[in-house]
Amino acid sequence: MTTFGKRIGSIPPLVQASTLVQSDIPPTPSQTIVAPSRKDVSPDRDFIRDQVLQRIEPAIAIQMTQLDLTGRVNMLVAEIATERRLLLNRQEQHDLGHEIVDDMIGLGPLEPLLRDDTISDILINGAHMIYVERKGKLQLTDLQFRNDAHVMHVAQRIASSVGRRIDESSPMLDARLKDGSRVNVIIAPLSLKGPCISIRKFSRIAMDFAKLVEFGTVSPGLSRALEIAARCRLNIIISGGTGSGKTTLLNVLSSMIEHTDRIITIEDTAELQMQQKHVVQLETRPPNIEGHGEITQRDLVRNALRMRPDRIIVGEVRGPECFDMMQAMNTGHDGSMSTIHANSGRDALARMEDMMLMANLSLPMQAVRSQMASALNLIVQTARMRDGVRRVTELVEVVGVEGDIISLETLFTYRYQGENADGSLRGTFVPGNVRPRFFPRLEYFGLADAFMAALTPSNKS
């Protein structure tokens, strides 16, 4: 058998050049990378894959660059196909070489999808079903893993990269990839469909309010109102369902924070893209296999209060840490922001009431609502609509407590009008044209007139 080490220096220049074109030049955002289908995995391809892996010495392979390794694998694929007289043309050999390299040092069939900037989510339901989301729409790809063991190999590679494990004794995993993409893995016996992996990709495109207006997420008037709200250090909660654009909007709002502010971010899995320099990122820690060592979001919020923060940003509030966050907002940490899963602004308040009671069951409901009304200024409701566009459907002000109810005032609402010929929805963002309770704060920052101008009917679109 020919050893891998004896042929390191024999890679033809022509192979290296072709590999550079295919592997090392990143796609433009508008490109869609089409990966080879794995629906019909022939015995010849399996045989070549096994032979290549036998001829490669792992100790030497890990010392090579991806370009050199790809060239070497492509050379071995061609060599084995010629030796065995296997019916694979040059393009099929090239595709198989890239598949093998992706399996060796990447995430297998997922690598082409991770390189495709048009994809926002990758969803693996067992070995033979891989979905992607493009422009808010789910599509079934023709990519497949070889079997469940192949999926598990990828899942274990993700887990080991963050110092965690995924097996029957620990069948769930939350992690992130090197590029910041968020990953969730669940396997048997919890998943009856085989190993399932969900990846929320880290966007390489820096978002701002201008792009949100361009995409139809907000109108120019609503965009200006949100920008001013962030600049004036209002406490903001972004509410919405899964995949409705909450984190994207939080990133855009946070870009309005002064670069002189000290920002503490708290997340289960770090995915916020802060543009300021003075940022301290905190991330929770799950318990170890003995059930000890867990650090929760509540622990981190409490610790953040001792770190002299100007702004506290919680990626998603989902438990008793809500109580500590309301305390922070009420004790001088203005301009704090977070997201929450809820279907409306009113539902978001109801969920937050439950979370605060999780932290302190002895609190009377009136005290909970008074504290929330005093702490919060705005709730931004987002939704992913049936045309795939993520929109802000409602901007409401938290006015105060009247009796047993927290009063809300609508500042903007999205009004559906119909459907265009291309299937996109048609609607307008209608301003409420009311003077908000936090008007003195706007005056203090010199932006009161600008905010009221954003609320005039002429700014709807």
**What is the average per-residue pLDDT within 404-423?**
92
Q: Within 13 Å, how many C-alpha atoms sit on residue 15's CB side? A: 22
**What is the average per-residue pLDDT within 363-384?**
93
More confident residue, 345 or 42: 345
65: pLDDT strictly greater than 50: yes
- Rounded to an integer, what distance in angstroms lies between the CA atom of residue 147 and that of residue 140? 18
| Sequence-separated (6 or more) residues with CB below 8 Å from residue 204 | 29, 117, 179
30: pLDDT strictly greater than 70: no
350: pLDDT strictly greater than 70: yes
pLDDT digits (tens, 9 = 90+) for 112-131: 899 898 899 999 999 999 99
209-459: what CATH class?
Answer: alpha beta
pLDDT digits (tens, 9 = 90+) for 235-269: 999 999 988 999 999 999 999 999 999 999 999 87
pLDDT band with cut points at 50, 70 and 90 for residue 292: confident
pLDDT band with cut points at 50, 70 and 90 for residue 3: very low
Q: For domain 106-205, which CATH number applies: 3.30.450.370, 3.30.70.80, 3.60.150.10, 3.40.50.300?
A: 3.30.450.370
What are the boundaries of each domain within the chain?
1-105, 106-205, 209-459
Return the percentage of the chain with pLDDT > 70, whole number: 83
33: pLDDT strictly greater than 60: no
**Angle between helix 90-105 and helix 66-84 axes, rounded to 10 deg:** 130
Give the pLDDT confidence score for residue 317 in this predicted structure.
92
- Rounded to an integer, what distance in angstroms lies between the CA atom of residue 355 and that of residue 322? 6
Give the pLDDT confidence score for residue 361 in this predicted structure.
78
163 sits in the region (left: phi over 0; alpha: psi -120 to 50; else beta) called left
More confident residue, 121 or 3: 121
409: pLDDT strictly greater than 60: yes
Give the pLDDT confidence score for residue 54 in this predicted structure.
66
33 close to 25: Cβ distance less than 8 angstroms: no
- Rounded to an integer, what distance in angstroms lies between the CA atom of residue 31 and that of residue 23? 14
Q: What is the mean pLDDT of the chain?
A: 83
CA torsion angle 74 75 77 82 (round to 10): 140
pLDDT band with cut points at 50, 70 and 90 for residue 8: very low
More confident residue, 436 or 456: 436
pLDDT digits (tens, 9 = 90+) for 308-319: 999 999 999 999
For the entire predicted model, the pTM comes to 0.78
96: pLDDT strictly greater than 80: no
